[in-house]
Amino acid sequence: MNLVFLGPPGAGKGTQAAVVSQTLKIPHISTGDMFRKAMREGTPTGLKAKAYIDNGQLVPDSVTIEMVAERLAEADCANGYLLDGFPRNLDQAKALEGISKLTAVVDIAVADEKLIARLSGRRVCPKCGGTYHITKLADEKVCPDCGGELIQRDDDNPATIANRLSVYHAQTSPLTEYYAGKGILKQVDGALQMEEVTSQILNALAE
Ligand code: AMP
């Protein structure tokens, strides 16, 4: 299965993609994670991406599309993949069509007010990739899964969150209509409990 998870920042794409990719035994490809790794390692891609990510803007398509095309050409994608955070605009969607044929696109919908609360209280573990919310943590500094140090993402601050949401509404949300027109869009309610969202996704993909 060649899958895309669409949805605003904070919808739970990464959390759901981690579970669903394991269930379906396909690689989880998060462009945000790829950029953050590139920035940590100081690669040319990371250096190009940093200013855009810090501002909550999209990294230019020339950089992003090439990075994804190279990743999808790797052997582990031969039997399918789950893209999380790509495509984020129409040009990226069209470029993806030139590279690969999608089976389904899952749109995880959540209202803006809930997204802001989720993103501003989000903590992540750079060691195991876990994502948590401060309201559910006994200790805000320690990963309950691996004991790693939890951090707040640099772009989870109020100004950058506002930019990311406005970029999403202007550039990414039109993709739901685009994929609906192609008959491959599945919509799920991302405001539900995590496990319920997962089963909605797996049921929609089994249809
Ligand atoms: P995410 O982890 O998906 O929220 O992505 C974090 C940031 O990485 C975004 O706010 C963008 O700056 C950048 N980014 C991730 N995916 C893309 C993409 N497909 N196109 C452009 N920029 C992206």
In angstroms, rounded to a whole number, what is the distance separating the alpha carbons of residues 26 and 1? 8
Q: Which domain holds residue 16?
A: 2-26+79-111+172-206
Catalytic position from the list 36, 122, 123, 186: 122
Best CA proximity match to 8, nearest among 34, 37, 32: 32
Whether residue 34 contacts residue 67, with contact meaning beta carbons closer than 8 Å, is answered with: yes
Q: Is 71 a catalytic residue?
A: no
Domain count, the chain: 1
Of all protein residues, the one whose alpha carbon is nearest to atom 12 of ligand 1 is: 53
Whether residue 23 contacts residue 179, with contact meaning beta carbons closer than 8 Å, is answered with: no
Of all protein residues, the one whose alpha carbon is nearest to atom 19 of ligand 1 is: 86
Does 62 fall in a domain?
A: no
Going from the Cα of 182 to the center of ligand 1, the distance in angstroms, rounded, reads: 24
**Would you say the CB of residue 7 lies under 6 angstroms from ligand 1?**
no
Does 33 fall in a domain?
A: no
In angstroms, rounded to a whole number, what is the distance separating the alpha carbons of residues 108 and 191? 9
Residue ranges of the chain whose pLDDT lies below 50: none
**Would you say the CB of residue 59 lies under 6 angstroms from ligand 1?**
yes
User: What pLDDT score does 129 carry?
Assistant: 87
State the DSSP H helix or E strand holding residue 2, giving kind and residue range, or none if neither.
strand 2-6
User: What pLDDT score does 166 carry?
Assistant: 97
Q: Per-residue pLDDT tens for 131-158? A: 999 999 999 999 999 999 999 999 999 9
Does 201 fall in a domain?
A: yes
Q: Which of 15, 28, 53, 61 to mutate to test the pocket of ligand 1 (most atoms within 8 A of CB)?
A: 53
Q: Is 13 a catalytic residue?
A: yes
User: What pLDDT score does 32 carry?
Assistant: 96
What is the Cβ-side half-sphere exposure of residue 13, based on CA atoms within 13 angstroms? 29
Does 202 fall in a domain?
A: yes
Q: Per-residue pLDDT tens for 30-50? A: 999 999 999 999 999 999 999
Give the CATH number of the domain where residue 18 resides: 3.40.50.300
Does 188 fall in a domain?
A: yes
**Would you say the CB of residue 35 lies under 6 angstroms from ligand 1?**
yes
Q: Is 40 a catalytic residue?
A: no
Tokens representing residue 51 in the block: 């200013």
Does 58 fall in a domain?
A: no
In angstroms, rounded to a whole number, what is the distance separating the alpha carbons of residues 17 and 82? 7
Going from the Cα of 37 to the center of ligand 1, the distance in angstroms, rounded, reads: 12
